[in-house]
Amino acid sequence: MKDSRGKSRQTVAGKWPALDIELIDAIISAYRGRGQTLLAPHRGNPVDVLVATILSQATSDVQSEKAFRSLKQAFPTWEEVILADPQDIEAAISKAGLGREKARNLQAALKRVRDDMGRIDLQKLAGLDPGEAMEYLLSLPGVGPKTAACTLLFGFDVPVFPVDTHILRIAKRLGIIPPAMSAKKAQVILNEMIPPDRMLEFHVGLIEHGRKVCKKRKPHCDNCAISNWCARREV
């Protein structure tokens, strides 16, 4: 298989094209020191990452970060969130949207963590195999593949590659995955394609690229660091 520059590309498991390391490094170089995600301030604190990622579901980073700050202002400890009236949590996180659902999931997830771990702390996951840690996180209310992967990547520095809407869109435009592929399936495939030592920076860089250049509508193709690889698919 060849990319848009005519270079041959190997396949993963005989089907999926391996990502060109030059493409990965082009994104990393373009956004190193510039890319930022809403999870960066919570790096190394898995519970904070978990909560922030649940709040980020189906909303913008700006609104979810406002909701996180509002939640912490209203309830300085996670134990207070567990004990709070769900309507008060919903009011605190209203800027993130889906307030009732997220409030219910936050309380239930935090309570599960406390019951399972003896306190509201996920550090015991650090001693597990990444697959086992992922399985546990996926068992928590409101936690899907992206949220679980973000918790591992930013909370524990485990090399996994979360796929959000920006990354999914870019991967489809590049022709890396089919246009109809789900984010869940794409995350499985991309985790096989990307070197572990580049996952964090590539993840952060692609999100920034999606925000600033490869936008959903009217992408700035003339200012694209990876235009040589792009099939310019209308995705």
Hey, which residues are catalytic here? 146
Question: CA–CA distance from 87 to each of 23, 90, 93, 143 (Å)?
Answer: 46, 5, 10, 21
CA distances from 70 to 58, 109, 171 (A): 18, 19, 34
By the 8 A CB rule, do 137 and 47 touch?
no
Question: Where does residue 19 fall: left (phi above 0), alpha (psi -120 to 50 degrees), or beta otherwise?
Answer: beta
CB count in 10 Å sphere of residue 138: 13
CA dist., res. 171 & res. 179, Å (int) = 9
